[in-house]
Structure 1
Amino acid sequence: MKLLKRLLKIFFGIVGMVIIAAIIALGLDKMGTRYLKIKNVPASNNSTYLITNVNIIPMLQDTVLANKMVYIQDGIIKSISESLPDKEVEIVDAQGKFLLPGLIDMHVHVWDKYELGLYLANGVTAVRNVWGIPMHLRIKEDVNNDKILSPHFYTTGPKLTGPEFIGDDNLNLTSPSEAKDKVISYKDRGYDFIKTYYGLNRDIFDAVVEQAAISKMDIVAHPSQKVPFSYHLNPQIKSMEHAEEIVQQPLQFNLDTIKLQSIIDSLSNSKHSSYCPTLTVFNNIYQMMINDSILEAEPLSYMNPLIKKVDSKNQFNRWHNAKMEDFSVVDRIKNQHDFHLEIVAQLHKAGVPIICGTDAGIGVTLPGFSIHKELAFYKEAGLSNYEVLKTATVNAAQTHSIMNQLGTIEEGKVANLLLVDNNPLMELSTLENPSSIFIKGRKINRKTLLSFKEKAKNRKNLIASALTYLENLLIEK
């Protein structure tokens, strides 16, 4: 009996120390992102400004409105004119710079609050997170309650798959009734959208779509290989993800432009869904194969340390080993990436709305920074600069009704704005270094944005991130 008591004492002592260590790790992580609290950012409590001497790219048409004034009141664009309002207001002299809607990344994976600062620093003022876990509901609450500076934050629930286990990062559904219950639960808990993934068979897929319509939740679809590709052309599905899925599923890895045309036609005829190509994340497979030291490169210091240690390393090893076994795989991946550019060109030609998404936050795809690479790929595919900008502004904002207040500069819209030195209709690279941004009307200058990058670099929150993921496994499974 004495031995048992001693063992129990040791056990509970260890459990207690683990709990204390967890509390400390989470507390340190929370302290580490204090710089994003609105009260800690200079001028962040002010959301009323008059921007003068500014050239506006409204994204309503391919034009520049020269030398205008934009009056922002309580975070909303109240007027666009050539004269001052009657009341006194703080003036921001834009000095002939260019003002456009803040960028929107429609396919991200957020792992901590540091990444929110990285998105802002790269001109991204709204994100659609497409792998929801409980942490994201807390972030969403903080953002909506104006506790932290962050892009507008929208999130799907967990990734929904069928009965077959394909990884603990997915939610396995075993029956139509369970599928409906999950959709209802995600709506009640505050998730914005439903994310469908690999492995959904016809019965379960139908149940998800049916309940999503009843619950008024849009679906973001990573196409399932268990149903025909055309099965995703459903009015409840507002966007389909990844150009590579067109290659892998209906084309069966056959890079055939003639067969591609029929797929493009079906997408064009559906008239209710956008396409999110995520070219960057696939191209990064190629980058990993041609750069053996990519994990040690300076840009990877901006990745979440848990993701870098686990996912980045695993993905690198996978493709490095594939290259070692058969070097021709390098050319195969490069050729497929080039075909993805053709897919984007054909989608655009057919009038399918293209929305910018990067798949940032996994592998070696950097939060925030990657949007500039994605936009450059659309330019390479043949889109004009204006058409490229549409993918990350007005097209993105029109995908879901809850985002319609974003994406253009016009009276009544939320003042999520990006001020840049040069004209992005001529030079897309100017987006990479904003002069300042406005998020819900709050002005953040370049110096502060650069500090957000530095704060996120080489952060030490591996344990806190692991605990957050453990929480997800305990709650969602």
Structure 2
Amino acid sequence: MKRILLLLAFLVFLVSQGFSQDILVTNAHIVTMDGEEVLENHAIYVENGQIKRIIPLNARTPRMTAERVIDANGAYVFPGLAEFHAHLPVANDGSTQLQEESMWLYLANGVLRIRSMLGHPTHLDLRRRVNSGVIDGPRVFISGPSFNGNSVSSPSQAVEMVNQQKADGFDHLKIHPGVKLDEMMAISKAAKAAEIPFGGHVPLEVGLENALASGYKSVEHIDGYLEALLPDDVIIDPTTSGPFNLKLVGMVEMDKLPGLIDQTLDEGTYIAPTLTLFDRYFGYIPADEFSQAPEMKYLPGSLIYQWVTSKKQLERSGVLSKENVEPYLQFREKLFMQLHQSGVPMIMASDSPQVFNVPGFSIHHEIKLMADAGMSNYEILKTGSIEPAKYMGKEEEWGKIKEGMAADFVMVAENPLENLKTMQDPLYVVIRGKVFDRERLQSELKKIEINHQRK
């Protein structure tokens, strides 16, 4: 019995360590993200989930070994990507299948960290299981349940919500439309006292300038900037202005933007642009076209049907005509680049799984749209590595490939600073010092596909 108990204790220890191995990656080119320089022909030695040594390989390099040796054969290693506007499934019925599948969808696409932006108590247990190594997945940061016009009834009640979410262990607060200005100020004061970041949509009654002044850590979807650029005498009627007020884009006054950019920079606010959400949900490409995308096979058919139905309702109403949508998407692209070029920090975000944005896969759609807008490959990679680490105050722990940092990285065939598409097909993913090769990642994807085969 004593031996059995000792064995069980050892197995629990292994699980808590995520079966982390000492790893030696050789013959790799390293995109450190500590500047744009690539360290060619180097080795990475990992111990206890941490990068211990980064070693140039030459004739004088001593012989090295480890429990797991990976010959990169000239492949490229980079810190992996982020999804900093995710919506994790809820395990209301006790089934965690969709949550666990989401974890693999992210890993298989080289996404090593996520910020879930609509929290639920079951997400806290998911984070615990991932962080303890019970299940595999990216690093998870969880926002609490939404602060909105239905959940917030007064400033004092809003303060209670802040303190309860902090006590429950959530990492972030999520703001939605409907919050009044006095309630927002109360949330701000309480959140700062509790040292928990907050951000989200910009409620109309609050407005962008007040939201920034309150201490918004992030503005989601670039939401609020369009409204802030409208003439002061415009009264917004959400029942006629279209989704995200897209029909009002022709009225914006761009001469207001420099002042808003200055305030955004002064407050240190980040932007989660979610370009792909607007391209796919509120764009003019038909729902039926997106519903046939290859990655839809990894989600339940009932969810895809809901997405098709939702978008087709907008299509039938005429609001998603090319005449309405094209100027709006062009405005968002221009605004995105002006904010970026002015130095406003961007965090990689695609709003998955939302309409036609499948976890993991949607990040690559977001990357393409950022590139199409004019952002450089290096700056795109920053939005998925350095900036999310800074956002969470973890820039000394992850976000770069550097000695002393977490052993979280992805290996791909080509240099992502030159070819962004190479990141769509990871050769290896290493998270917390645990290795997943391409065969394992593809195997997990196949299991998910089988789970959701259409009948």
* TM-score between both structures, scaled by the size of structure 2: 0.84
Of 25, 43, 46, the match for 1:72 = 46
Q: What is the CA–CA distance in structure 1 between the aligned matches of 2:394 and 2:36, rounded to whole Å? A: 25
Of 274, 279, 294, the match for 1:278 = 274
Residue in structure 2 matched with residue 230 of structure 1 by the alignment: 209
1:56 aligns with 2:30: yes
Partners of 2:272 and 2:348 within 8 A in 1: yes
TM-superposed deviation, 1:286: 4.8
Q: What is the CA–CA distance in structure 1 between the aligned matches of 2:123 and 2:46, rounded to whole Å? A: 29
Residue in structure 2 matched with residue 159 of structure 1 by the alignment: 146
Residue in structure 1 matched with residue 166 of structure 2 by the alignment: 187
Distance 1:288 1:454, change over 3 A: farther
Of 429, 434, 437, the match for 1:437 = 429
Amino acid aligned to 1:303: L
Of 329, 339, 346, the match for 1:347 = 339
Q: What is the CA–CA distance in structure 2 between the aligned matches of 1:245 and 1:318, rounded to whole Å? A: 25
* Seq. identity, %: 27
Listed as ranges, the gaps of 5+ residues in structure 2 are 1-11, 90-98, 231-244
- What secondary structure is seen at the aligned counterpart in 1 of 2:146? strand
Matching of residues 239-318 of structure 1 within 5 Å: 239-248=218-227, 250-251=229-230, 253-255=248-250, 256=252, 258-259=254-255, 261-262=257-258, 264-286=260-282, 289-295=285-291, 297-305=293-301, 307-310=303-306, 312-318=307-313
Residue in structure 1 matched with residue 134 of structure 2 by the alignment: 147
Residue in structure 1 matched with residue 124 of structure 2 by the alignment: 137
* Residues 105-114 or 228-237, more deviating: 228-237
Residue in structure 2 matched with residue 107 of structure 1 by the alignment: 85
Distance 1:260 1:184, change over 3 A: same
Amino acid aligned to 1:362: Q
TM-superposed deviation, 1:129: 0.3
Distance 1:173 1:268, change over 3 A: closer
Q: What is the CA–CA distance in structure 2 between the aligned matches of 1:58 and 1:299, rounded to whole Å? A: 30
Over 6 Å off, 4+ runs: 37-40
Amino acid aligned to 2:412: V
Q: What is the CA–CA distance in structure 1 between the aligned matches of 2:300 and 2:123, rounded to whole Å? A: 15
Distance 1:107 1:267, change over 3 A: farther
The alignment's C-alpha RMSD in Å is 2.6
Residue in structure 2 matched with residue 17 of structure 1 by the alignment: none
* Residues 296-305 or 57-66, more deviating: 296-305
TM-superposed deviation, 1:287: 5.3
* Residues 90-99 or 295-304, more deviating: 295-304
**The structure with more helix, counted as a fraction of residues:** 1
Listed as ranges, the gaps of 5+ residues in structure 1 are 1-36, 166-171, 463-477
Q: What is the CA–CA distance in structure 2 between the aligned matches of 1:370 and 1:460, rounded to whole Å? A: 18
Partners of 2:288 and 2:308 within 8 A in 1: no
Q: What is the CA–CA distance in structure 2 between the aligned matches of 1:38 and 1:308, rounded to whole Å? A: 40
1:321 aligns with 2:321: no
* TM-score between both structures, scaled by the size of structure 1: 0.80
Amino acid aligned to 1:99: V
TM-superposed deviation, 1:108: 0.7
1:370 aligns with 2:362: yes
Q: Deviations over 1:306-358 (max 9, x none)?
A: 53344x144223222223xx67x333223211221111210111000111100
Amino acid aligned to 2:199: V
